């Protein structure tokens, strides 16, 4: 579907939005606006990563927008993000995407409200700023999840599949961080064409998200390490208790094993106080083992 969002009137460029285009529609647009064939091929690739190219007087930019409707268990670039291709020149501005992108309509409404003309490069700056902003809500959600699971881990609350959940959160954060890093080149290449508050806002958005996702990555790694340490500590505690019990019963088992042998000429078998003597010996051994553990501070 091809929609003309803006004709040349107040602003000096024509904005064309193309949603889920066919190959024929893309080729027709490419021919009408003299777009490079290789760039058009990149538009058809739904898995293409962010990129920036200058071909003659046309800028070709690919960005990836965080998909707010992604599945809860999504963890890859293709599952979590959607591609938007942009052709920008002083006379036209073309956005191409396969799925509906509400943020484009929001930008369009703001542009319509402007009383002063803006250039296509300034629009590109605002669009990329909005693209970066789509990564802010998932960052806020991940931070809330980290706080929630951090509390549960330190309170030693048992949660099913906690390690798998932490890994999935880390995957989402890693994908977002990677997309922000790949968008960095676009941000700083645009500075060659745009100056002023529009560009400064874009740089601020990039730097803020870069710092936020660095902190999120560190927090997830630390939380995972803490969880593994606590799990290891629990295992060591269980092994310590089992070891103590085994040490207590080892000499008792030896004594019982000796007197459980059925030799005819064992001297204590016919002793009047043999049974009581063995019990006393086992009690003494148990007391000695207990005080030995206490002295070693293992109890």
Average pLDDT, the chain: 83
Instruction: Find the range with the poorest average confidence among 28-42, 46-60, 244-258.
Output: 28-42
Share of the chain above pLDDT 70, in %: 98
Q: What are phi and psi of 97, to 5 degrees?
A: -155, 155
Shortest CA distance to 191 belongs to which of 178, 180, 203? Answer: 203
Q: Which of 79-83, 102-106, 229-233 has the highest mean pLDDT?
A: 79-83
Residue 183 has pLDDT above 70, yes or no: yes
Q: Give the C-alpha separation, 149 to 157, whole Å.
A: 9
Residue 118 main-chain phi, psi, to 5 deg? -125, 155
Separation between Cα atoms, residue 94 and residue 111, nearest integer Å: 15
Residue 163 has pLDDT above 70, yes or no: yes
End-to-end CA distance of the chain: 75
**Structure token pair of residue 162:** 């906690």
The C-alpha atoms of residue 131 and residue 184 are separated, in whole angstroms, by: 12
- CA dihedral sign, ordered 260, 264, 265, 271: positive
Average pLDDT over residues 24-44: 79
Question: Contact at 8 Å (CB) between 11 and 111?
Answer: yes
Q: Which of 202, 209, 212, 183 is nearest to 129 (CA)?
A: 202
208 SS3 class: helix
14-19 and 51-55 as β-strands: parallel, antiparallel, unpaired? unpaired
pLDDT in tens, 50-60: 888 888 888 88
Instruction: Quickly state the pLDDT bin for 10 (edges 50, 70, 90).
Output: low
Both structure tokens of 119: 């250039």
What is the pLDDT at residue 94? 87
What is the value of pTM for the model shown? 0.74
Radius of gyration of the chain from Cα atoms? 35
Q: CA dihedral defined by 119, 121, 126, 132, rounded to 10 degrees?
A: 170
Q: What is the mean pLDDT of residues 60-74?
A: 86
Q: Report residue 188's pLDDT band, with 50, 70 and 90 as the boundaries.
A: confident
pLDDT by residue (tens digit) across 258-288? Answer: 877 777 777 777 777 778 888 888 888 888 8
More reliable by pLDDT, 40 or 128: 128
- In this predicted structure, the answer to whether residue 196 has a pLDDT above a threshold of 80 is no
Q: Give pLDDT, residue 250.
A: 87
Confirm if 87 and 58 have CB atoms less than 8 A apart: yes
Q: Where are the extended beta strands (E) located within 201-241?
A: none
The arithmetic mean of pLDDT across residues 209-222, rounded, is 90
SS3 of residue 191 by DSSP: coil
d(CA 130, CA 107): 8
CA 194, CA 258: separation in Å to the nearest integer? Answer: 92
User: How many Å apart are CA 46 and CA 174, to the nearest integer?
Assistant: 20
Backbone angles phi, psi at 90, to 5 degrees: -70, -20
- Options 3.30.1280.10, 3.30.460.20, 3.30.70.260, 3.40.50.300; CATH of 2-232: 3.30.460.20
pLDDT at residue 156 above 80?
A: no
Nearest to 179 by CA among 78, 59, 102, 43: 78
What's the confidence (pLDDT) of residue 235? Answer: 81
Most confident range, picked from 82-86, 196-200, 254-258: 82-86
């Amino acid at each position: 579907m091809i929609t003309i969002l803006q004709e040349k009137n107040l602003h000096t460029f024509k904005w064309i939005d193309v949603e889920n285009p066919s190959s024929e529609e893309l080729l027709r647009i490419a021919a009408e606006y003299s777009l490079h064939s290789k760039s058009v091929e990149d538009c058809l690739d739904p898995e293409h990563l962010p990129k920036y190219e200058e071909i003659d007087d046309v800028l070709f930019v690919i960005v990836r927008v965080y998909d707010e409707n992604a599945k809860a268990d999504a963890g890859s670039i293709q599952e979590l993000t959607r591609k938007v291709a942009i052709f920008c020149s002083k006379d036209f501005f073309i956005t191409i995407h396969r799925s509906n992108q509400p943020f484009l309509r929001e930008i369009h409404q703001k542009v319509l409200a402007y009383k002063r003309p803006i250039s296509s490069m300034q629009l590109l700056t605002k669009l990329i700023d909005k693209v970066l902003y789509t990564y802010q809500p998932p960052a806020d959600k991940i931070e809330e999840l980290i706080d929630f699971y951090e509390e549960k881990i330190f309170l030693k609350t048992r949660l099913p599949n906690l390690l798998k959940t932490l890994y999935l959160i880390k995957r989402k954060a890693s994908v977002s961080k990677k997309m922000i890093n790949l968008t960095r080149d676009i941000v700083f290449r645009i500075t060659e064409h745009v100056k002023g508050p529009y560009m400064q806002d874009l740089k601020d958005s990039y730097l803020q998200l870069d710092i936020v996702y660095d902190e999120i990555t560190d927090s997830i790694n630390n939380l995972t390490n803490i969880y593994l340490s606590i799990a290891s500590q629990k295992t060591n505690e269980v092994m310590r208790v089992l070891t103590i019990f085994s040490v207590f019963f080892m000499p008792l088992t030896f004594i019982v094993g000796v007197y459980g042998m059925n030799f005819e000429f064992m001297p204590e078998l016919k002793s009047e106080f043999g049974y009581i003597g063995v019990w006393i010996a086992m009690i003494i051994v148990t007391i000695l083992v207990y005080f030995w553990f206490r002295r070693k501070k293992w109890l």
